[in-house]
Structure 1
Amino acid sequence: MHLLFLYNSEVSENLADVFYDLLKEEQTSADVNVSLVDAASKGDLETIRRLVNRYPNKIDETFKDQTALQVACYEGKYDTVVFLVQHGASVNLQDKAGDTALHLAANGNESDIMKYLADNGANVNISNAKQQTALHITVNKSNWKGSKVLIDKGADPSLQDCKKDTVMHFVVSQKDCPHDTLKSIFRSKKAKFSAVNGNGCSILTFAVMKNNKYVVDLIVRLNTNCTSDKMSDGRTALHLAAANNKVEISHCLITTGKADINVKDIKGRTPLMSAVYSGGTLKSVEQLIKFECSVNATDNSGDTALHILQTQKSSSMMRKRRGADDTQMLCFLLENGADVLIQNKNGKTPIDLTKDETEKLLIKTLAKKVIEKSFARTKSGFTFPADWDDMGKETILRVNIEPSKTDLMKQQWKDVKQMFDNTLPQARIVSIQRIQNKFNWEMYQVMKKKLEKQYGIGCANEQNLFHGTLPDKVDLIVEQNLDCRLAGTRVGTLLGKGTYFAKDAKYSDGYAQSDSNGHKFMFVYSVLWVKLVVEEMNMLNRHYKI
């Protein structure tokens, strides 16, 4: 069929113009998303106004999964954000990753934009695909101003992400978080301290593991019940602190948090047993006993702390990870009533688990002295170390520690040699002596008691440090101890007049001069560090920092 059209040429031209305008309109509309998002990223308000006024329904359209508002928030274009929100842009729209404009502002560290969004309807508790809120992001990026904004606007610090970490877990790891921000987070009415992350850690146990004493103290002041919370293996925060030798945190948990000092994990182990088993230093064991924990509590196997110590020492594999405090730990347990006759479920006593005959004799002797209350004591009532040789009426005794003698002495030699070899393995040890000075021991214990009264039981921060010296000063130091009025002049008194020590033998080696035989002399001192501040050349007295 053929159709014949009659038409007016003028009408035809007008229709063509209309169709052309419609086609042009359609092309511009298709490109407006790109133009709007691009203009938002640049903060080009003039272009944004023109596009939004002409295409108001396109304000929430996306380009590459981002709206103009989301891009402006991330790029920090505050004026653009204000304009878009005022013209109806959705503040809670989520992209494919679940991020809202608030998430993107948080990622861009744009705190002022975050506040504006929160003031204009943004939901501060929306989670993205990782189940993280904007607060998770700001804390993780150490944006404390933004974190404070979100908390003030009702952000929930207890919401968990895909790994079940809360914001409180996140902030524990951030040592630079200002205290006022920490307080805002942990004092939030929505804070739930019982929340456990994917590793089974509550907020408190996680703070202990991260050695964040300030947060531990903050938590237990807000909720003392937290100290009884247990991990999946039954361990509490005190178990963790004791096992990892965190004496200041342990002190906080016990005194402020009212932690049960004899609480048991699923293996029936107390914090004392955890400290012994982990190979921790004497400090944790001493602290727990001073707080009157049960020295003879038994675990599910019937083992006491003394059983555990002797089992660890008798195992060649375990000995490799034991510390240098084992002998002192053994003596301290015995001096404080550890029962050597308790049998575990295998019918073994701590003595049965001891291989060294000399050590067995020491255990029996010390146990007898506890019963008879016949320990040698100073005039102030302090007990002399149990492993000291009998001094009779002597006030000073130098005892040669030889590896060829008893296993006990062999272990003492090994402990000192290991400390030395850690940083100075090329040097050959000629001899090791134990200095037994009754007067110096008493003075040391008096000062330790004074510091623990001031800073807390176990918090005198006792450390073994090196001190290299001149050959002609050795006998004088043995008799009279170090004189802080004279010491320090050889190193230029850079940090004030006083006695200088080193944590590593290699540093003290530089200040130890050789005698005519080519031998150098170095002391290993027990030093009460407490908390020190960096001093200056003109300082004369010790300065402690609380």
Structure 2
Amino acid sequence: MNDERRMVEAAMSGDTQTVRLYLDKGVDINYAIWNRNSALQAACRRSRLDTVKFLLSCGADVNNVTGERWSNQPTALILAAEEGQLEIVKLLLSHGADVNFTDRWRYSALLSAAAKGHVACQEILIENGANVDQTGVDDASALHCVTGEELTMKDADPYRISPQDSLRLCRSLLRAGANPNTGDGSGRGTPVHVAARGDHVDLTRLLLEAGADMNAVDSQGKKPVDVAPKESATRDLLLSPSPLTLCQLCRLVVRKSLGKERLHTIDRLKIPTAHKTFLQFD
């Protein structure tokens, strides 16, 4: 075993002192071993906050993906977001991590956090400019990931998000301007298709209030109502939807007028707090 591999494995186990010894010997801080992890990536993958702090203080490349042959591997930020390590995510962002870098599956840090149901990580990534409409090679956007129990490229356990967290994640994405109609015509369909398949009536209702098209079709020409379980609450909702109220229609108009880039200014509008809350789907 060479020194580079020993250093990466020390970082993976959180042995900061050993990492320091190898750096003092001249080992390249950004070297990646056979599994394509540098010391920083390994420390993020195993949630070693102190080691991450040390490596960044020593000049580790926060956006390193190690060579052309291994391009589009997950960055340290993507790995930390997957693991739900909020403090590490904040630290990497403060050191210039590219919030919208995508890996070989076209998953960004935000999409990776959403796929694992990490609410706090998703919110801090959005605050730092993450693209809320990024889609992976599996046609999944963040809204797809949080509205159902369907497998994605980053998730081996489809039952990882509680109904309460699903609503929080969905509201967070919609508040930031995520498109509820993304995936129209794809194999996965729109987020409403995903919510309908899982019989998530509250999520389906929220998406419809946010302007989702209940008549959108997937690649097989099926609408959300066609994929909802028979005799389910979601199917009943889609068969007899209530029209949007005047307030809900006004919310869509105001948000569209502001545009996605200015939605964050809603808090600064000179209107009652209750109106601001309503405009932000809270």
TM-score by length of 1: 0.38
- Secondary structure of the residue that 1:352 maps to in structure 2? helix
- Secondary structure of the residue that 2:126 maps to in structure 1? helix
- In the TM superposition, residue 237 of structure 1 has moved relative to its aligned partner by 1.5
State the distance in 2 between where 1:373 and 1:364 align.
21
Pair 242,265 (structure 1): closer, same or farther in 2 beyond 3 Å? same
Name which one, 1 or 2, has greater alpha-carbon Rg. Answer: 1
Of 202, 209, 215 in structure 1, the residue corresponding to residue 75 of structure 2 is 202
Matched, 1:356 2:231: yes
In the alignment of these two chains, the number of paired residues is: 235
Aligned residue number for residue 529 of structure 1: none
Matched, 1:254 2:129: no
Of 297, 307, 317 in structure 1, the residue corresponding to residue 182 of structure 2 is 297
- In the TM superposition, residue 246 of structure 1 has moved relative to its aligned partner by 0.6
- Secondary structure of the residue that 1:169 maps to in structure 2? helix
State the distance in 1 between where 2:194 and 2:214 align.
12
Aligned residue number for residue 166 of structure 1: 38
Q: Is the 8 A contact 1:340 1:367 kept in 2?
A: no
State the distance in 1 between where 2:15 and 2:217 align.
57
Aligned residue number for residue 347 of structure 1: 221
Pair 146,357 (structure 1): closer, same or farther in 2 beyond 3 Å? closer
Segments of 5+ residues of structure 1 without an aligned counterpart are 1-96, 99-125, 314-325, 376-444, 459-546
Deviations 1:306-338 (A, max 9, x none): 01222344xxxxxxxxxxxx2321221122222
State the distance in 1 between where 2:94 and 2:239 align.
44
- In the TM superposition, residue 159 of structure 1 has moved relative to its aligned partner by 0.7
Pair 367,307 (structure 1): closer, same or farther in 2 beyond 3 Å? farther
Q: Is the 8 A contact 2:65 2:71 kept in 1?
A: no
Aligned residue number for residue 143 of structure 1: 15
Output the amino acid matched with 2:144: M
Of 46, 54, 63 in structure 2, the residue corresponding to residue 193 of structure 1 is 63
Q: Is the 8 A contact 2:47 2:88 kept in 1?
A: no
State the distance in 1 between where 2:171 and 2:88 align.
25
State the distance in 2 between where 1:244 and 1:331 align.
23
State the distance in 2 between where 1:230 and 1:143 align.
29
Of 85, 93, 117 in structure 2, the residue corresponding to residue 220 of structure 1 is 93
Q: Is the 8 A contact 2:187 2:219 kept in 1?
A: yes
Output the amino acid matched with 1:228: N
State the distance in 2 between where 1:357 and 1:173 align.
40
1:58-457 matched pairs, under 5 angstroms: 97-98=1-2, 126-127=3-4, 132-133=5-6, 135-148=7-20, 150-151=22-23, 155-175=27-47, 177-178=49-50, 181-191=51-61, 193-195=63-65, 200-225=73-98, 227-256=99-128, 258-278=129-149, 280=161, 281-298=166-183, 300-301=186-187, 303-313=189-199, 326-354=200-228, 355-356=230-231, 359-368=234-243, 370=244, 372-373=245-246
State the distance in 1 between where 2:31 and 2:223 align.
50
Q: Is the 8 A contact 1:175 1:212 kept in 2?
A: yes
- In the TM superposition, residue 344 of structure 1 has moved relative to its aligned partner by 2.6
Output the amino acid matched with 2:53: K
- In the TM superposition, residue 187 of structure 1 has moved relative to its aligned partner by 4.5
Percent identity of paired positions between Structure 1 and Structure 2: 17
- In the TM superposition, residue 137 of structure 1 has moved relative to its aligned partner by 4.4
- In the TM superposition, residue 157 of structure 1 has moved relative to its aligned partner by 2.7
Higher relative contact order (CA 8 A, sep 6+): 2
State the distance in 2 between where 1:245 and 1:222 align.
24
Q: Is the 8 A contact 2:72 2:104 kept in 1?
A: no
Pair 198,312 (structure 1): closer, same or farther in 2 beyond 3 Å? farther
Pair 159,273 (structure 1): closer, same or farther in 2 beyond 3 Å? same
State the distance in 1 between where 2:116 and 2:188 align.
24
- Secondary structure of the residue that 2:107 maps to in structure 1? coil
- In the TM superposition, residue 147 of structure 1 has moved relative to its aligned partner by 3.0
RMSD: 3.3
Q: Is the 8 A contact 1:334 1:366 kept in 2?
A: no
Output the amino acid matched with 2:17: K
- In the TM superposition, residue 362 of structure 1 has moved relative to its aligned partner by 2.4
TM-score by length of 2: 0.69
- In the TM superposition, residue 272 of structure 1 has moved relative to its aligned partner by 0.7
Output the amino acid matched with 2:91: L
- In the TM superposition, residue 291 of structure 1 has moved relative to its aligned partner by 1.4
- In the TM superposition, residue 244 of structure 1 has moved relative to its aligned partner by 1.4
Pair 249,334 (structure 1): closer, same or farther in 2 beyond 3 Å? same
- In the TM superposition, residue 192 of structure 1 has moved relative to its aligned partner by 5.3
Pair 253,335 (structure 1): closer, same or farther in 2 beyond 3 Å? same
Deviations 1:401-432 (A, max 9, x none): xxxxxxxxxxxxxxxxxxxxxxxxxxxxxxxx
Output the amino acid matched with 1:285: C
State the distance in 2 between where 1:171 and 1:347 align.
45
State the distance in 1 between where 2:57 and 2:180 align.
37
Q: Is the 8 A contact 2:65 2:72 kept in 1?
A: no
Segments of 5+ residues of structure 2 without an aligned counterpart are 150-158, 249-272
Output the amino acid matched with 2:118: K
